[in-house]
Chains A and B, each alone.
Chain A
Amino acid sequence: MSESNVSDIMNRFRAVVDTPYEKLSTWKEANGKKVVACSPMHFPEELIHAAGMLPVVLQETGEAVTAGFSHVYPFFCGITRNIIDIAAKGELNVLDGVVYTDICIQNRNAACTLRQIMPTVYVGYLQLPTSLTREGVMQDTIRELEKTRASLEELAGHKIDDRSLEQSILVYNKNRSLLRRLHELRRGSPRLLGFRDMQVVVKSSMLMPKEEHSGLIESLVAQLEKVTPSPLEGKRLFISGHLCQSPKADILDVVEGVGAAIVDDDLYTGYRYYAVDVELDGDPIECLARRYLNKSIPIPTRSDITGIRWEEYIVQRVNDIGAHGVVVLIAKYCEPHIFHYPFIKQALARAGIPHIMVETEHEVVSLEAVRTRLQAFVEMLG
C-alpha cells in the first residue's frame, strides 16, 4: 500500500474537518460562490447544490461554550449550544444562509435563535412532516420542498431547474455510493481504516464540494482495495447513536484502544448519512421527498409505526455483522435518543446482545472513566 497516498488523502480530509468554518471562508474567497449550511439529519443538500451554492452540514466544533450562554441554557444538547455559541461569536457570518429542518424542539429553537443573532444571514426553516403515518405526507413533503426551493432560488438569485437538480442528485448518489464502498471495505477489514478516520472521511463529505470529495474517495478506495485484509484480533463492536453530531474523536479512540474494533454503525456522521440514495425515476422534488419518507433506516426524529423500529434495526445489523456487542453513544440531552434508549436496551437484552451506554458531552469529560468502563465491557465480552 502506498502509505503516503492514503496519508495524503486523509490529510486533505482532516484539513477540511479541523476548523471547518475558517476553511469555508478561504474557500469562498477562492471560488466566489455562496455557502449555505443546513442542520443535520434531513435537509436535502442537493437543493443547495443545484442552486450553484456549496452545501455544508453544520458541525459541532471543539470550542467551549461562552457567548452562547447569553442565548441558550446549559441543558440544551451540545450541538445546539455550540452552534448558537459560534454564531454569537460571529464565526458563522461566513455563511450566506442557514437552513434548519424540524427534527426536534432544540433544533427549532436553535433556528429561531440564529435568526435573532445573525440578522444579516438568511435563516430558513423546512417543516417536513414528522408523523409519517398521517395522510398526505407525500404531498406535504413535496409542498415544503418546493417552498424551500423557492427560498433558495431567491438566495441564489436564479432558478433551480429540474435538470440541475437531477444532476446534483446524481453527484450526491455517487458520493454516497463511494462512501458505502468504503464502509463495506471496513466491515470486511476494520483495521484498514480506523473508525476515527472513517468519521473524518464522512464529515469532510459534509464540508467540501461533493465532486472533489468523490474524487478523493475513489483514490482512497483504490488504495485500500490493494491491501490484503488481515484477520481482526479483538472484539467486534457496533456503535449506535449520536444523531446530528459526530462523537468526539477521543471517545472513538478509547473504544478502539481497548482491544476492540468498531465494525459497523448507525451514526449520522456514519452509515446513516450515506445509506440511502435518491431514486431518480421521475420529478426530482418527488424523488427527494421519497428519500425523506424512506423507511428502510428507522429515524427517531420522525414518528412512524409502519417501518422497522430502531431497536429491531440495531439487533438486525449486529447479527448481520456478527458484532460481539454494542456501544450506545447518547449525546447528552438528545431527546430523540433518550426516549428510544429504553427500547433499545430492552431489545438488546432480549436478543442476548451485550451493550454499554455512554453519555457524551460537548465538553469532553473524564476520558479515563469512560476508558475504564469500556475496558471492563470489552473484557466482559469474553
Chain B
Amino acid sequence: MDTQVKQPNKLDSASSIGQMMADSFADIKRQAAEGKKVVWANGLPGFLLARGADMPVLHAEGFIAGLAARGQEKPLQDAAEAFGLLPDACSYARSFIGLARIAKGHFQLESSMHESICKMPKPDLYINVPGGGCATGRLWGDSVAAICDIPAFHLEPRFCWDESDREHNIADFVRQERELIALLESVTGQPYNWDRLKEVLVEVKKATSLRQEIMKLCQHVPAPASFFDMAASIGLVCHLVGVPGTGDLLQKMKEEVEHRISQGIGCVPVEKYRLYWDGILTWSRLGVLARKFAALDACLVAGPYTHLLFLPRADMIDPERPLQSIAYNVCDTLANYDYSHRVKAVADFCQEYSIDGLVMSETQTCRGINGQSFALMDGVARKLGLPAITIGGDSCDPRFYSDAQVDTRLQALLETIEARKKIRQVQAD
C-alpha cells in the first residue's frame, strides 16, 4: 500500500483557525500589557463567564494542544519536571504548570524563540471547569494558583451517578456560576457586564449550532470532513469560544462541507472503513495519524471529544438565560455520566455515523476520560457487534506514542472489520 499517495483531504476553510488562535494569544499579551487582568482556565467552556467580565482567557487545552501539534510543548514540560512534577501526571496539566513557572520567572527558557512561543502573561485568576468533573483539573488549577499566588475557582459539575440527579446537578452548577460572577467582580473591581455575556452567547449559539450541523453532515457517506478536521477546529468552541468571527468561520466550513457532499468528495481518497475515536487526541501526532488512516482507506469519522464534550447542547443555549445555557453544556456532557448512559449514547452515535469499528485512545497520562473505555468497548460490542482496539499515546507528551503499535493494531482492526463484512455477506447470500 503506497502510504505516500493517499493523503487526507483537509478542509480548506479550517486553515485560518491557526492564525485566529495565534492572534488570540497575541491579544492576551497585549491586553495584559495594557493592565487588563488575565484569566487562565482549563476544561469546559464554563470559563466563558470571564468574557462577561471583559477578561482575556487563556484556555489550557487550547494553548497546549496547539503547541503539541507543532512539537513545541517540551519546554513547558521541562519546566514542570524541573519543579518535581512526575511525567505520569496529566500532560495537559504538566504543560500548563510549566507555563505558570515560566510566566513567574521560575524557569528560564533556552532561547528567545521559546520565549515568544512558551511565555504568556501571568494570570490573575484561575478557573477550573473540569470535563466530567475530573478532579485532576482541581489539582492542576490549585498548582497554578499556588505558583502564581492567585485565587483559583473550581466550577465543579456534579457527576450524574443516577439520571434523576440531572436537574439538581444543573441547578447546583448555576449556583456555582453565581459565586464565580461575584469573584469576577471582586477581581476586576467592576460590576459584571451581563449584556456583554449575552452578546458572547449569541456568538456561541451561532458557532456551536453551525458546528453541530457540520458534524451531522459528516454522517454522509463518504464523510466530507473527518474527526481530524473537527479536532483541528476545536479551538472555535473552546479557547476561542464566543470570540467574534468564530461563527463566520464555521459558516464557511459548513458551506465547504455541503459543497463536498454535492460533489461526492470525501475527506479521505478512499473511504472503505468508517471509524470512531474515543478519548483525547494524540495532538503531537495529529498529522501522522490523519495520514495513516487515509493511507489505509479508513476515515476517522467522529468521536466524543470533538462531538460530545465541548458545548454539545447548542439547543440549550439561550442568550437570555446564560447561566442555565452554560450549566447544560457543562453538566450534560457524556463524560459526566456513568457507563450505562455512555454505552447507549456511543452506540447510538455509532449507528448515526455508520461506524465500522472503534479506536480507543489510551491517553496514558489521563485517568479521567478513558476510565470507562473497557465498559464502552464491551457495551458497544454487545449492542452492535463492532470491533474495537486501543492504541497507546498521550494528549501532549509524545514520549508515550508508539508508531509501530498503532500500525499493528490499526491493521488488525481493519482486517477484523473486513472479515466480519465478508461473514455478513455470506450470511446474507
- A103 near B159: Cβ-Cβ < 8 Å: no
- A105 near B362: Cβ-Cβ < 8 Å: no
- B135 near A116: Cβ-Cβ < 8 Å: no
- B84 near A345: Cβ-Cβ < 8 Å: yes
9-residue interface stretch from A69-77, A184-192, A227-235, A315-323: A69-77
Q: Which of A109, A129, A135, A332 has the most CB of B within 10 A?
A: A109
- A116 near B375: Cβ-Cβ < 8 Å: yes
Tell me if B31 counts as interface (CB < 8 A to partner A). no
- B88 near A108: Cβ-Cβ < 8 Å: no
- B371 near A303: Cβ-Cβ < 8 Å: no
Residues in B68-100 with C-beta less than 8 Å from chain A: 83-86, 88-90, 93
Tell me if B372 counts as interface (CB < 8 A to partner A). yes
A134 and B179 contact, Cβ closer than 8 Å, known pairs A125-B159, A338-B85 = yes
A341 and B175 contact, Cβ closer than 8 Å, known pairs A73-B362, A131-B154, A303-B142 = no
A112 to B362, CA, bound (A): 18
What per-residue 1/0 map shows which CB atoms of A318-347 lie under 8 Å from chain B? Answer: 000000000000101101101111110110
A-chain residues with CB within 8 Å of residue B176 when the two chains form the complex: 134
CB-nearest residue of chain A to B165: A127
B-chain residues with CB within 8 Å of residue A335 when the two chains form the complex: 89-90, 135-136, 139, 367
What per-residue 1/0 map shows which CB atoms of B324-349 lie under 8 Å from chain A? Answer: 00000000000000111000000000
CB-nearest residue of chain B to A311: B146
Q: Which of B156, B340, B364 contacts A131 (CB 8 A)?
A: B156
A330 to B93, CA, bound (A): 18
A-chain residues with CB within 8 Å of residue B300 when the two chains form the complex: none
- A303 near B373: Cβ-Cβ < 8 Å: no
Say how far A250's CB is from chain B's closest CB, in angstroms: 22
CB-nearest residue of chain A to B137: A105
What per-residue 1/0 map shows which CB atoms of A75-97 lie under 8 Å from chain B? Answer: 11100000000000000000000
A341 to B81, CA, bound (A): 11
- A336 near B156: Cβ-Cβ < 8 Å: no
- B374 near A303: Cβ-Cβ < 8 Å: no
A-chain residues with CB within 8 Å of residue B145 when the two chains form the complex: 305
Say how far A353's CB is from chain B's closest CB, in angstroms: 15
- B179 near A135: Cβ-Cβ < 8 Å: yes
Tell me if A113 counts as interface (CB < 8 A to partner B). yes
- B85 near A112: Cβ-Cβ < 8 Å: no
Q: Which of A71, A102, A333 contacts B135 (CB 8 A)?
A: A102
Tell me if A106 counts as interface (CB < 8 A to partner B). yes
CB-nearest residue of chain A to B375: A116
Tell me if B138 counts as interface (CB < 8 A to partner A). yes
A339 to B6, CA, bound (A): 43
A75 and B88 contact, Cβ closer than 8 Å, known pairs A113-B375, A116-B339, A333-B367 = yes
- A105 near B368: Cβ-Cβ < 8 Å: yes
A109 and B88 contact, Cβ closer than 8 Å, known pairs A135-B179, A303-B138 = no
Residues in B128-162 with C-beta less than 8 Å from chain A: 132-136, 138-143, 145-146, 151-152, 154, 156, 158-159, 161
Q: Interface residues of A, CB < 8 Å — how many?
A: 45
What per-residue 1/0 map shows which CB atoms of A208-234 lie under 8 Å from chain B? Answer: 000000000000000000000000000
- A341 near B156: Cβ-Cβ < 8 Å: no
A71 and B375 contact, Cβ closer than 8 Å, known pairs A105-B368, A338-B88 = yes
A115 to B339, CA, bound (A): 9
Tell me if B9 counts as interface (CB < 8 A to partner A). no
Q: Which of A72, A112, A134, A335 has the most CB of B within 10 A?
A: A335
B-chain residues with CB within 8 Å of residue A359 when the two chains form the complex: 86
A-chain residues with CB within 8 Å of residue B136 when the two chains form the complex: 104-105, 335, 339
- B339 near A112: Cβ-Cβ < 8 Å: yes
Say how far B127's CB is from chain A's closest CB, in angstroms: 12
What per-residue 1/0 map shows which CB atoms of B344-373 lie under 8 Å from chain A? Answer: 000000000000000000101101101111
A105 and B135 contact, Cβ closer than 8 Å, known pairs A71-B374, A116-B339, A341-B86 = yes
A60 to B270, CA, bound (A): 50
A67 to B67, CA, bound (A): 38
CB-nearest residue of chain A to B140: A339
A75 and B367 contact, Cβ closer than 8 Å, known pairs A108-B159, A125-B159 = yes
- B371 near A112: Cβ-Cβ < 8 Å: yes
- A72 near B374: Cβ-Cβ < 8 Å: yes
Say how far A322's CB is from chain B's closest CB, in angstroms: 25
A339 to B358, CA, bound (A): 32
A-chain residues with CB within 8 Å of residue B89 when the two chains form the complex: 335, 338-339
- A75 near B364: Cβ-Cβ < 8 Å: yes
Say how far B199's CB is from chain A's closest CB, in angstroms: 28
CB-nearest residue of chain A to B373: A73
A-chain residues with CB within 8 Å of residue B142 when the two chains form the complex: 303, 305, 339
B-chain residues with CB within 8 Å of residue A303 when the two chains form the complex: 138, 141-142, 152, 154
- B372 near A112: Cβ-Cβ < 8 Å: yes
B-chain residues with CB within 8 Å of residue A112 when the two chains form the complex: 338-339, 371-372, 375
B-chain residues with CB within 8 Å of residue A338 when the two chains form the complex: 85-86, 88-89
- A127 near B374: Cβ-Cβ < 8 Å: no
Say how far A21's CB is from chain B's closest CB, in angstroms: 23
Q: Which of B83, B138, B161 contacts A125 (CB 8 A)?
A: B161
Say how far A59's CB is from chain B's closest CB, in angstroms: 21
Say how far B74's CB is from chain A's closest CB, in angstroms: 18
Tell me if A240 counts as interface (CB < 8 A to partner B). no
B-chain residues with CB within 8 Å of residue A125 when the two chains form the complex: 159, 161
CB-nearest residue of chain B to A109: B371
What per-residue 1/0 map shows which CB atoms of A104-137 lie under 8 Å from chain B? Answer: 1110110011011000000001010111001110
Say how far B64's CB is from chain A's closest CB, in angstroms: 16
A109 and B86 contact, Cβ closer than 8 Å, known pairs A70-B374, A125-B159 = no
B-chain residues with CB within 8 Å of residue A135 when the two chains form the complex: 179
- A332 near B338: Cβ-Cβ < 8 Å: no
CB-nearest residue of chain B to A359: B86
A70 to B83, CA, bound (A): 35
A104 to B134, CA, bound (A): 7
B-chain residues with CB within 8 Å of residue A104 when the two chains form the complex: 135-136
A-chain residues with CB within 8 Å of residue B364 when the two chains form the complex: 73, 75
Residues in A269-298 with C-beta less than 8 Å from chain B: none
B-chain residues with CB within 8 Å of residue A75 when the two chains form the complex: 88, 362, 364-365, 367
Say how far A120's CB is from chain B's closest CB, in angstroms: 15
CB-nearest residue of chain A to B371: A109
Cross-chain pairs A/B with CB under 8 angstroms, 23 sampled: A70-B374, A73-B367, A75-B362, A102-B133, A102-B135, A105-B135, A105-B368, A109-B367, A109-B368, A112-B371, A113-B339, A115-B339, A125-B161, A130-B156, A134-B176, A136-B175, A300-B139, A305-B151, A335-B136, A339-B139, A343-B143, A345-B84, A346-B84
Q: Which B positions have Cβ atoms within 8 angstroms of A?
A: 83-86, 88-90, 93, 132-136, 138-143, 145-146, 151-152, 154, 156, 158-159, 161, 175-176, 179, 338-340, 362, 364-365, 367-368, 370-375, 390
Please give 12 more A-B residue pairs, beta carbons under 8 A apart, in addition to A76-B371, A335-B136.
A75-B88, A106-B367, A108-B159, A108-B371, A109-B371, A112-B372, A130-B135, A130-B156, A303-B142, A335-B90, A335-B367, A336-B135
Q: Which A positions have Cβ atoms within 8 angstroms of B?
A: 70-73, 75-77, 102-106, 108-109, 112-113, 115-116, 125, 127, 129-131, 134-136, 300-301, 303, 305, 309, 330, 332-333, 335-336, 338-343, 345-346, 359
